[in-house]
Amino acid sequence: MDQVQLNHFKKRLETEKERLEVEIRASNRFNLDESLVNAVQELSAYDNHPAELGSETFEREKDLALWNNYHEMLLRVDEALDRIAEGGYGKCEKCGREIEIERLEAIPYTTFCVECRRQEEDQRHTRERPVEEEVLGPPFSRAFLDESDVVATDGEDIWQDVAGYGTSESPSDLGGVADYEEAYYNADEEQGIVEEIDGVIDVGPDAIPPRPREYPDLIKE
């Protein structure tokens, strides 16, 4: 990278740093120093329904994410300016090759070339469940045992018993659900049985109607 290009990216980084500093000062920390109760002008944060403070909690989480993002971006810009001063700007920290000019134009504070960045993203593990579940053990671990041979009561059964009394989700939230009795996970499955034959009720011989005669004409009364 020649000196003209280096000066160009230095100017861009300085402009970005100034913009971020202005945004941080203008944000006034998104009033994160103020308690949630005072922010929403409520007497208490303990409500009868879990959704009553849901919107306010979401907005507080969003403000915190924006605040952290501003500081993360400012840190990356400062590190890029330091690399310019030290003579290491524009080199991939993984392979050591020159980072493409087109990539630097898009992200002037990047530290990876396109290929190394793609490899980093491919190696990331996508989790379907929270990482905490990998270290939790009974009785706190997730215990949905549908795919196993275990027929004992598991976490799914316990959840269904509790959710049958109602949850914060309505039928309209889930879609395809007719009433509140179906508004929870696997609400349509039979409870207390393993196979369909287990659901046959033993009512006793007196409650079973007599079998129809196959050949009534041949039987004399």
If you compute the radius of gyration of the chain from its CA atoms, what whole number of angstroms results? 32
Residue with tokens 């002008």: 41
Q: What is the pLDDT of residues 128-171, one digit of tens each?
A: 667 777 777 766 666 677 667 776 777 777 777 777 777 777 77
Is residue 111 located within the same domain as residue 71? no
Q: What is the pLDDT of residues 89-118, one digit of tens each?
A: 999 988 989 999 999 999 999 999 999 988
Task: With respect to residue 66, please indicate whether it lies within any of the assigned structural domains.
Answer: yes
Task: With respect to residue 114, please indicate whether it lies within any of the assigned structural domains.
Answer: yes
Is residue 162 located within the same domain as residue 180? yes
Is residue 83 located within the same domain as residue 14? yes
Domain count, the chain: 3
Task: With respect to residue 62, please indicate whether it lies within any of the assigned structural domains.
Answer: yes
Look at residue 10 in the predicted model and tell me its pLDDT: 93
Is residue 9 located within the same domain as residue 79? yes
What mean pLDDT is reported for the chain? 76
Cis peptide before 139 (omega within 30 of 0): yes
Is residue 181 located within the same domain as residue 154? yes
Of residues 31, 100, 18, the one with CA closest to residue 60: 31
Task: With respect to residue 121, please indicate whether it lies within any of the assigned structural domains.
Answer: yes
Structure tokens at 90: 């524009």
Residue 26's contacts (CB-CB under 8 Å, 6 or more residues apart) are: none
Structure tokens at 166: 């109602």
Stronger pLDDT, 82 or 199, i.e. the higher one: 82
Which region among 38-47, 81-90, 99-108 has the lowest average model confidence (pLDDT)? 38-47
Q: Is the pLDDT of residue 12 over 90?
A: yes
Is residue 97 located within the same domain as residue 159? no
Task: With respect to residue 206, please indicate whether it lies within any of the assigned structural domains.
Answer: no
Task: With respect to residue 147, please indicate whether it lies within any of the assigned structural domains.
Answer: yes
Q: Is the pLDDT of residue 71 over 80?
A: yes
Is residue 171 located within the same domain as residue 103? no
Domain residues for 109? 90-125
Is the separation of the CB atoms in 169 and 183 below 8 Å? yes
Structure tokens at 219: 């039987």
